[in-house]
């Protein structure tokens, strides 16, 4: 319970900040870039931007609210990842698709690349925490 009290607000803030940017960038990727270069290349272009934003936002949050343990940083990333997956599934349904369709999209090359980026998003708090601990 103590971990949840410390970490869940950070996970929510981390998810919300990165998701807001990723949503905006994703709209541009889907509507403008993907029709011109293909879905895989569009995700390749988007991925470094989102991972850099994930690193920056995670670093900013953890510098203001340092976590004491590696487990806290891992829980923060895992909770933010769970929120991200739930938000993406809900968004798929709101846009007229289905959860099954969204999941099958993850099996495409572009979907797998995107999922790899989402896993990078999930481990970013731990990577930032680890770097901060090493520099002390």
The total number of residues shown for the chain amounts to 136
Reduced to 3 states (helix: H, G, I; strand: E, B; else coil), residue 111 is: helix
pTM for this one?
A: 0.93
Tens digit of pLDDT for each residue in 79-104?
999 999 999 999 999 999 999 999 99
The DSSP result for 58-80, as a single string, is: HHHHHHHS--SSHHHHHHHHHHH
Phi and psi torsions of 65, nearest 5°: -135, 75
Residue 10 has a pLDDT of 97
Residues of the chain falling short of pLDDT 70: 1, 133-136
Residue 90 has a pLDDT of 97
Residue 136 has a pLDDT of 58
Residue 4 has a pLDDT of 77
Residue 22 has a pLDDT of 97
Residue 1 has a pLDDT of 59
Residue 99 has a pLDDT of 97
Cα 111–Cα 42–Cα 91 angle in degrees, nearest 5:
50
Q: Could you tell me the two tokens for 28?
A: 């541009």
Residue 6 has a pLDDT of 85
Cα 107–Cα 78–Cα 129 angle in degrees, nearest 5:
125
């Amino acid at each position: 319970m103590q971990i949840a009290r410390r970490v869940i607000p950070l996970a929510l803030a981390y998810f919300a900040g990165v998701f807001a940017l990723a949503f905006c960038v994703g709209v541009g990727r889907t509507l403008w870039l993907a029709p011109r270069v293909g879905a895989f290349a569009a995700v390749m272009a988007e991925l470094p931007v989102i991972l850099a934003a994930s690193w920056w936002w995670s670093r900013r949050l953890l510098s203001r609210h340092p976590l004491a343990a590696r487990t806290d940083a891992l829980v923060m990333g895992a909770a933010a990842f769970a929120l991200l997956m739930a938000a993406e599934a809900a968004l798929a349904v709101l846009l007229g698709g289905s959860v099954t369709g969204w999941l099958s999209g993850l099996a495409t090359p572009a979907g797998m690349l995107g999922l790899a980026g989402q896993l990078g998003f999930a481990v970013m708090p731990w990577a930032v925490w680890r770097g901060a601990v090493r520099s002390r």
